[in-house]
Chain A
């Protein structure tokens, strides 16, 4: 029974991806991509990775889909120069070989499971009981610190390039009750995911993405206008995550002699503090990445 479900789901993933990539209608293609993302999230749950599934649904399908849709109206379609049939056949052959080789290589790779034993052995001293959170914010916290730095670099790049700011449209009266319920619910769900991330699936990234969704409802509904003042506040919050994480790294160095090795027994508090700030910071960064940041103040709006 569950095997039939798996086959159906895997088929659905490949089919929707093919539909998304096969059509020339951009909006249809993005819609297909979002559906693919949601089905992939479901298959990640089947693969025993609910943390990743939450992130894929919120970020991979939701925010990326919104970003693509935003740009679909701005980018001019490329001149439809169809590549010659012989080229396409060769590329298709290479693609089929690539897929086959990849599947074969992954399937036959020796499953040297080195990490699970190590993780479960030290999980008790990590301060949390969700192994993914333990890896992200304790065992490999250094990676996560750099990841936040990468996000911030992308934000700076967007700021330099300065794409146009999306103009909110008048969406009518029914946006108000929607925002009145959905925006606080986003804050609630973000807090809930942040808190439960210590023991069950959830954490700062998923929480930040959901909070960013709430902020985008405010922006696109026309309730909050990105004034220069709001923009500089947003940048401050975005930087705050990186700053707090870096300060935490330095102070753990001072306290314990190792970067991001938390003092004995206090790991949970450290992790929770860093995660709470990261949630706000990730939300601000994702929101600003979506809205773009004009160099000029928005006088003419």
Chain B
């Protein structure tokens, strides 16, 4: 409960005190620190006591709206809290005054709240509401500033995402029409008992499309590279780290809890989708020559990996997927934040206009190199472990072609990231590029601090991949044994 309420309260207070920049900052930071603690507490509790559920309004479960915290959800809440805090700290140094005055901080807080809600809700329609909250907050953040590129990106973003809303609502309608339920646990039971006259698999396709768009799968991802590179970097970072992950999260939820009637078919489709997503995403990354665009496409290709883990639909693969999720949230956010610093000290995002940063900013070079290598899955950094696990799962299943694609994508990711390295860090800056003013020490601390913290986390996951994997393994178990979830929500009854 708290992870939702804390950012909500802070956002409300910010809105009441509209226009007070300093207070907004303070409230946002307080909110995200609070969120972090709440998330940590939640994860420990869930880890120790098992799945928790809370009925809002004290109305019994399948009637009221129930909030459920299981390990997968609690882990994601923690991720949201971590990235949220890092981005907010970064924002205080990087954001222009105008955006701060026009509600940037409450928007971020609402976005975080929406995510936590989506991670924790146990009610399908409520999930829709959280999605819309995130959606409207991200619209506003995306368009905030009103430059042409932002507006253009936003148009595509909203068009395709409103399409999601329509698909999602339609799917909810169908499910209610079939079962008379909205509670996910109850739905899970009802759908398992559903007779052949119920077109469950067809409905599953509706959800697959809806969350496929959200998660940026092929061929539904086009809104992402059109928009993610347009807002301020702090916003891009939180989008890149978290927003698409909510789509993946929802997809995994749906296809482990609700739609498991015909896994050979539905998960087979997901498998093909994942492979195509990986390939087309990484090709985009190779094609682009602007840091944030390259990163945007790399989000897509790596979403493919995560969906792959779901599609393989076995404990090892899902554990790998969840580990990948954790790793990717952190690393992507780090890379976007780093790209912001690169732009700050180098004056541009475009490789053609950057250069010489290796010489002038060796520290920054390291800050880029490590997450870039982690993203590419270079051992022993955090990206390697889930990749190894997924590779094992694929090879165990004899999916040779898929394994080959996954490895190829990994290589091409490395290639695309090293193009940034070569272009921005190694090569010499083109003539006529004006070096921006040096940073004040406060600014430096606020920019580098979050990056360092996230990087430290990456390294921690790299070194202590063991405990992290154990955690995700337990998360995967919970996902694959929905009975636990159902019992936690509905009690021991039938």
Q: Do A and B come from one complex?
A: no
Residue positions of B touching A, CB distance < 8 A: none
Residue positions of A touching B, CB distance < 8 A: none
